[in-house]
Amino acid sequence: MDSILVTGNGPLKGQIPIAGAKNACLTLMPATMLSEEPLTLTNAPRLSDIRTMTTLLQSLGAEVSTLQDGQVLAMSSHDINNHTADYDIVRKMRASILVLGPMLARDGHAVVSLPGGCAIGARPVDLHLKALEALGAQLDLKDGYVHAKAPLGGLKGGVIDFPLVSVGATENALMAATLAKGTTIINNAAREPEIVDLAQCLRKMGAQIEGEGTSTITIQGVDRLHGATHPVVTDRIELGTYMLAPAICGGEVELLGGKRSLIEAFCNKLEAAGVEITENENSLTVRRGDNRVKAVDVVTEPFPGFPTDLQAQMMALMCTAEGTSVLEEKIFENRFMHAPELIRMGAQIDVQGGHATVTGVEGLKGAPVMATDLRASVSLILAGLAAEGETTVSRVYHLDRGYEHVVRKLSSVGAKIERIQEQ
Ligand code: EPZ
């Protein structure tokens, strides 16, 4: 298992290009199942999760070609010849559940393995299943698999009332409803930019959708969808992560492709902490001089609130802040596993249930630490950039799931960072 060695090296300077969004691409790819015509995604990120989704779609009979150094995904699911998403693939990546809605809507039947446990929380899929039942599907759980059947003539439009906001369940319902007979209304829908991106792509394929980005989405089902080409939206979580690099180390970095509207709540917190953000035509510039960041409180919420996927990285910054901050994690019940690792680097953090109280320290010290999940891994790298001496982050396979070329991107702005291949 590779690890990453980071040595604190002072202020950063330069430009970092931001890739397409993992969490948009992972829902756009299954949308290919909704049509027999080709769907091409441009600006696709080059990540292990995208390769896992590729393997899954290919196992169902779809063709997926990776072009232009991996940034273009040319897909066609003309010949779907297998309707079972196998546990061996699904256990690697929960987003695999997103093939359920499209496959059911397209061919009226699907068998998908339940994703199983996750480091950051229980993460059930009950809302996905309830949404498809509201469209007339019959679902049976057997041997760890969901066996789904549409009524004769296919799924039927219906009203879906989500008791809590779920990104994935909204995506599954939205995709399935595009081919359901009649009108579907999704209430308390997720409003994330990845949902908006999915709706825009589906509309290009001929779907009739209104209200994406709001809490109520209305879909008029159509008989068939056609092919399209669609650019994947910028990755707002990668964007926020790299904005924190000059925030924690000082300096000035321009994030190419960055847009403030994708992470407004996060930008507001960063500015409240004393970091300068400038929006340019097609980038964001982040500056921090010699001033020490100030402690700010954070509560994670569904979009447009503060994203849970930036909580760990924000905690790394708060470890060096002036004063005490409280971070409340409201989305996942077990998403503070980076805290004990940051404490190994000299941070002062007290975790009580869903609240973490961080008392800022003058400086962190490098140490060997271990990544426990995707966002925790990059928060340790950020802390290492600001720490005195060397930090070695192990288990970086977590990182490869959601960040492409971390070492190259951070080195290009002056960070001292390298990947160590295990012998
Ligand atoms: C998506 O996960 C993202 N993953 C997550 O990013 C992100 O943290 C999360 O949304 C919240 O923003 C992808 O898009 C692939 P949810 P998802 O359904 O769809 C509960 C990363 O780091 N829930 O919005 O799985 C659930 O347990 C990842 O890139 C149910 O109870 O998240 C959680 O507490 C991590 N039943 C809450 O809802 C359900 O059927 C929100 O989960 C579904 C969800």
pLDDT in tens, 11-28: 999 999 999 999 999 999
For ligand 1, atom 26, the nearest C-alpha belongs to: 123
The average pLDDT across 319-348 equals: 97
Q: Which CA distances in Å does 213 have to 178, 191, 200, 266, 291?
A: 17, 4, 11, 18, 37
The average pLDDT across 336-352 equals: 98
Would the CB of 126 count as within 6 Å of ligand 1? Answer: yes
124-128, Cβ contacts within 8 angstroms, sequence gap of 24 or more: 125/97, 125/168, 125/169, 127/162, 127/163, 127/164, 127/166, 127/169, 128/97, 128/100, 128/101, 128/166, 128/168, 128/169, 128/172, 128/173
Confidence of residue 122 (pLDDT cuts 50, 70, 90): confident
Asked if the model's pLDDT at residue 33 lies above 80, the reply is yes
Confidence of residue 258 (pLDDT cuts 50, 70, 90): very high
Assessment of whether the complete model's pTM goes beyond 0.95:
yes
Residue 205, pLDDT score: 98
Q: Calculate how far, in angstroms, residue 330's C-alpha sits from the geometric centre of ligand 1.
A: 12
How far apart are the C-alpha atoms of 217 and 333, rounded to whole Å? 28
Q: Calculate how far, in angstroms, residue 167's C-alpha sits from the geometric centre of ligand 1.
A: 6
Mean of the per-residue pLDDT values of the chain: 97
Would the CB of 167 count as within 6 Å of ligand 1? Answer: yes
Q: Which residues pair with 326 in a beta bridge?
A: 357
Residue 374, pLDDT score: 97
Q: Which of 56, 167, 171, 314 to mutate to test the pocket of ligand 1 (most atoms within 8 A of CB)?
A: 167
Catalytic residues, by residue number, are 118
The average pLDDT across 143-170 equals: 98
| Residues 256/231, Cβ–Cβ less than 8 Å | no
| Residues 403/241, Cβ–Cβ less than 8 Å | yes
Residue 398, pLDDT score: 95
The average pLDDT across 125-129 equals: 97
Would the CB of 45 count as within 6 Å of ligand 1? Answer: no
How far apart are the C-alpha atoms of 160 and 173, rounded to whole Å? 8
Residue 396, pLDDT score: 92
Asked if the model's pLDDT at residue 167 lies above 80, the reply is yes
How far apart are the C-alpha atoms of 362 and 376, rounded to whole Å? 22
The atom number, within ligand 1, closest to the CA of 122 reads 27
Q: Which of 113-127, 230-244, 335-349, 356-370 has the lowest mean pLDDT?
A: 113-127
Instruction: Count other C-beta atoms under 10 Å from residue 319's C-beta.
Output: 28
Q: Which of 118, 310, 331 to mutate to test the pocket of ligand 1 (most atoms within 8 A of CB)?
A: 331
Q: Calculate how far, in angstroms, residue 22's C-alpha sits from the geometric centre of ligand 1.
A: 13
Instruction: Count other C-beta atoms under 10 Å from residue 217's C-beta.
Output: 24
The atom number, within ligand 1, closest to the CA of 123 reads 27
| Residues 43/213, Cβ–Cβ less than 8 Å | no
Of the chain, the percentage scoring pLDDT greater than 90 comes to 96
Would the CB of 127 count as within 6 Å of ligand 1? Answer: yes
The average pLDDT across 137-146 equals: 97
The residues, any chain, with a CB within 8 Å of residue 136's CB and separated by 6 or more, are 150, 151, 155, 156, 158, 180
Q: Calculate how far, in angstroms, residue 380's C-alpha sits from the geometric centre of ligand 1.
A: 22
Q: Find the radius of gyration of the CA atoms of the chain.
A: 22
The atom number, within ligand 1, closest to the CA of 303 reads 12
For ligand 1, atom 9, the nearest C-alpha belongs to: 167
Confidence of residue 423 (pLDDT cuts 50, 70, 90): low
Of the chain, the percentage scoring pLDDT greater than 70 comes to 100
Q: Calculate how far, in angstroms, residue 91's C-alpha sits from the geometric centre of ligand 1.
A: 16
Q: Which of 73-87, 110-124, 381-395 has the lowest mean pLDDT?
A: 110-124
Structure tokens at 385: 């950039």
Give the number of residues written for the chain.
423
Residue 285, pLDDT score: 98
Q: Which residues pair with 148 in a beta bridge?
A: 110, 139
Residue 257, pLDDT score: 98
Q: Which CA distances in Å does 360 have to 2, 239, 401?
A: 30, 24, 30
Residue 305, pLDDT score: 98
Confidence of residue 335 (pLDDT cuts 50, 70, 90): very high
